[in-house]
């Protein structure tokens, strides 16, 4: 009888897993179903459409596809803020036509003459420093900069449905890459913590770096030499040079992504999939195509979509929510310093914890975390940035305990792997959130 009950429970758990919606922020509509159908077809062994794991490459544009690009592309805001910050030290910049165009919001002028104005601004704000120095500048900006309409950090104006899509593809053993016109080094600062895409899978516009041995130490310096603009026809070239495989899935939102969509879906020897995000929701985000606020023009790709069988996502009709917090402003209490100290875990994935077996998390001010799983001690690293929270590999001792306590330990360690952010609740309470914005752990200050 006991064996029967365990077998029945296992079956029920399997059914629950199978029934779980991988794309909960997508409305039940043809766009969502087309994504699921494609993934199931290419991952089902024995299917005529089956694609080996090594060839499951998905490429994503960034601006307007993964995060909001209006009223200005976020990197353009960074450059504008950097120009303003540095202008008192360089009053001569005011006479520069590129600086004048930026301060006046004239992006068209910056893009003319083969991006000459944009190249000049990048030379002023992005070069003559090491990659680490540049990363520090972008980090500082992301910590304080706020979107002018939504009032939250720029890493919060990301699209929840696309985060779910990234997770769904990776769960089905796809490699997810960013191939974007944005700055390669700029995106590498935040993309891993924000999208789960590591730096080595990010391709963007970039220039050469210079290597020197300075005082016996290897040193790289950013330059403006041989700038490669990863846009339009440059995207297929970058894919071939950096990835070395043809993608089978491509996601974009503008005419700048059309060449990448064509390269992915036309005469591909493998089954392929193309998708365009159409900005149609002025209430929750922005509505534009042929006349965007600054960038993201969508005309020729939209016209080609029916002929090419590209899926067009209507943001207003196809998405239940747009942003992870559905446009909610950032909680001003999300202060990393408040995390420092020791916390007692009170709940894990809504299944409670044992009162007699304390599970704890202690944050140090040195990027370290430690505590008790309830059976074993653990320690490791932690990244806290812009409300995001990411734990590195945790080293634990190896003691055994009663089954119930070992179960709690495993639930805790699995939950820690999924943590992506945090938010404070009532006094002395913090919640850990997964990438879908769901609360996975409740902790109280000790």
Taking only the tens place, the pLDDT of each residue in 112-131 is 776 678 778 888 888 899 99
- Please report the pLDDT score of residue 335 as a whole number: 61
Q: Which residue has the higher pLDDT, 275 or 19?
A: 275
Residue 315 buriedness (CB in 10 A; 0-12 / 13-18 / 19+) = buried
Question: Do 286 and 354 share a domain, yes or no?
Answer: no
Name the phi and psi angles at 274, rounded to 5. Answer: -130, 145
Is the pLDDT reported for residue 206 higher than 60?
Answer: yes
Sign of CA dihedral 333, 334, 339, 344: positive
Question: Do 282 and 344 share a domain, yes or no?
Answer: no
Question: Do 292 and 397 share a domain, yes or no?
Answer: no
Q: Which residue has the higher pLDDT, 434 or 201?
A: 201
Answering whether pTM is above 0.85, one says no
Closest CA to 67 of 142, 197, 162, 148: 162
- Please report the pLDDT score of residue 327 as a whole number: 40
Question: Do 368 and 434 share a domain, yes or no?
Answer: yes
Residue with tokens 């504008």: 80
Whole-number Å distance between alpha carbons of 196 and 171: 12
Count of domains in the chain?
Answer: 2
Domain contains 6: no
Question: Do 92 and 114 share a domain, yes or no?
Answer: yes
pLDDT, tens only, 332-352: 334 678 899 999 999 999 889
Domain of residue 157: give its range. 26-328
Is the pLDDT reported for residue 308 higher than 70?
Answer: yes
Question: Do 213 and 354 share a domain, yes or no?
Answer: no
Question: Do 245 and 365 share a domain, yes or no?
Answer: no
Question: Do 386 and 441 share a domain, yes or no?
Answer: yes
Bin 343: left if φ > 0, else alpha if -120 < ψ < 50, else beta: beta
Structure confidence at residue 37 as a pLDDT band (50, 70, 90): very high
Name the phi and psi angles at 374, rounded to 5. Answer: 110, -20
Whole-number Å distance between alpha carbons of 300 and 305: 9
Domain contains 13: no
Q: Quick one: average pLDDT of 226-250? A: 94
Distances (CA, A) of 7 to 12, 23, 35, 367, 404: 9, 29, 33, 44, 20
Q: Which residue has the higher pLDDT, 162 or 101?
A: 162
Distances (CA, A) of 301 to 157, 253, 311, 386, 439: 24, 9, 11, 35, 39
- Please report the pLDDT score of residue 228 as a whole number: 84
CATH of the domain at 431: 2.40.128.270
Whole-number Å distance between alpha carbons of 231 and 114: 12
Domain contains 285: yes
Q: Which of 276, 308, 328 is the last residue of a domain?
A: 328
């Amino acid at each position: 009888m006991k064996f029967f009950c365990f077998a029945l429970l296992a079956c029920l758990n399997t059914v629950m897993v199978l029934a779980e919606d991988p794309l909960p922020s997508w409305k039940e509509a043809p766009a969502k179903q087309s994504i699921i159908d494609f993934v199931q077809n290419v991952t089902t062994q024995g299917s005529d459409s089956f694609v080996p794991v090594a060839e499951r490459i998905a490429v994503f544009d960034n601006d307007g596809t993964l995060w909001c690009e209006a009223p200005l592309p976020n990197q353009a805001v960074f450059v504008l803020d950097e120009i303003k910050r540095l202008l008192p030290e360089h009053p001569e910049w005011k006479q520069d036509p590129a600086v004048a165009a930026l301060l006046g919001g004239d992006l068209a002028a910056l893009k003319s003459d083969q991006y000459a104005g944009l190249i000049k601004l990048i030379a002023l704000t992005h070069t003559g420093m090491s990659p680490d120095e540049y990363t520090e500048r972008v980090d500082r900006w992301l910590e304080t900069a706020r979107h002018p309409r939504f009032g939250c950090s720029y890493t919060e104006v990301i699209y929840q449905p696309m985060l779910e899509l990234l997770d769904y593809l990776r769960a089905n053993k796809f490699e997810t890459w960013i191939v974007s016109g944005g700055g390669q080094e700029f995106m590498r600062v935040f993309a891993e913590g924000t999208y789960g895409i590591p730096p080595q899978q990010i391709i963007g516009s970039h220039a050469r770096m210079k290597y020197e041995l300075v005082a016996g130490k290897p040193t790289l310096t950013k330059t403006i030499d041989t700038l490669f603009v990863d846009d339009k026809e440059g995207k297929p070239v970058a894919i071939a040079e950096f990835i070395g495989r043809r993608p089978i899935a491509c996601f974009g939102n503008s005419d700048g992504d059309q060449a990448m969509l064509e390269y992915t879906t036309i005469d591909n020897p493998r089954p392929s999939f193309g998708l365009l995000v159409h900005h149609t929701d002025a209430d929750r985000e922005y509505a534009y195509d042929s006349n965007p606020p600054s960038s993201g023009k969508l005309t020729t790709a939209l016209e080609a979509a029916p002929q090419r069988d590209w899926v067009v996502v209507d943001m207003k009709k196809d998405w239940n929510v747009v942003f992870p917090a559905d446009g909610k402003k950032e909680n001003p209490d999300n202060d990393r310093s408040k995390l420092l100290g020791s916390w007692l875990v009170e709940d894990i994935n809504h299944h409670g914890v044992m009162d007699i077996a304390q599970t704890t998390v202690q944050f140090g001010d040195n990027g370290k975390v430690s505590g008790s799983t309830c059976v074993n001690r653990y320690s490791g690293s932690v990244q806290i940035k812009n409300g995001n929270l990411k734990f590195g590999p945790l080293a634990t001792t190896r003691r055994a305990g009663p089954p119930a306590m070992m179960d709690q330990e495993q639930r805790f360690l699995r939950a820690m792997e999924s943590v992506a952010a945090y938010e404070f609740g009532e006094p002395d309470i913090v919640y850990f959130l997964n990438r879908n914005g769901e609360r996975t752990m409740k902790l109280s200050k000790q």
